[in-house]
């Protein structure tokens, strides 16, 4: 996938890259036919929000235009986690993808990693006790979970990167790469 062109306007570099990313993902969504491209411009309601959510969750840079769709996506919450996943999957399926199996797999990687694979989440969930619980010292595991690798490295991802910095036994941690 090609990187979006750099902006020469007063828009910040990260905002310009984010808008370029959204354009690239829109292109991936509608590349199969001009009719689908025209339909994308006329989506409304949850269909529009679902397509925007797929685009926004596929990029590490999320402009303010992503707020309504991400708010809708993350507001889907049920008592049981499996029901939350099912509801979010059904929401994302509202975005028509034709018979693009890559988009189907992208939807699944979003469900698995969208709110779990940034540096803050990894640092919170990968805490280990290398010397036992009684010792009190903790470390952050430097092995990325498989679901994060799939989410970050998917062909339809853009600018979703984290890196491990340091030694796990000496303050090592995950950082977002921008």
* Averaged pLDDT, groups of 10, the chain, 178 residues long: 35 45 49 47 88 90 90 96 94 87 88 90 93 87 94 89 93 91
Specify if 3 maps to a domain. no
Interior angle at CA 177, CA 137 and CA 16, nearest 5:
150
Q: Give the pLDDT of residue 72.
A: 96
Specify if 89 maps to a domain. yes
Q: Give the pLDDT of residue 166.
A: 95
Specify if 130 maps to a domain. yes
Specify if 8 maps to a domain. no
Number of domains, the chain? 1
**With a threshold of 0.95, does the pTM exceed it?**
no
Q: Give the pLDDT of residue 115.
A: 84
Specify if 2 maps to a domain. no
What residue numbers bound the domain in which 163 lies? 13-176
Specify if 5 maps to a domain. no
Specify if 44 maps to a domain. yes
Specify if 4 maps to a domain. no
């Amino acid at each position: 996938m090609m990187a979006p062109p750099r902006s020469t306007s007063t828009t910040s570099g990260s905002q310009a890259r984010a808008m370029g990313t959204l354009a690239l993902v829109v292109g991936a969504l509608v590349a199969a036919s001009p009719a689908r491209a025209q339909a994308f411009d006329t989506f409304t309601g949850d269909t529009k929000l679902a397509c925007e959510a797929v685009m926004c969750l596929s990029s590490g840079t999320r402009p303010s235009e992503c707020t309504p769709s991400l708010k809708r996506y993350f507001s889907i919450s049920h008592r049981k986690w499996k029901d939350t996943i099912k509801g979010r999957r059904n929401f994302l399926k509202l975005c028509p993808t034709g018979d693009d199996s890559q988009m189907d797999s992208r939807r699944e990687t979003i469900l698995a990693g969208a709110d779990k694979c940034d540096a803050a989440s990894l640092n919170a969930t990968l805490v280990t006790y290398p010397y036992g619980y009684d010792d009190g010292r903790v470390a952050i595991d430097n092995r990325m979970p498989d679901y994060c690798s799939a989410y970050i490295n998917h062909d339809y991802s853009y600018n979703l990167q984290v890196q491990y910095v340091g030694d796990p036994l000496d303050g090592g941690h995950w950082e977002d790469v921008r």
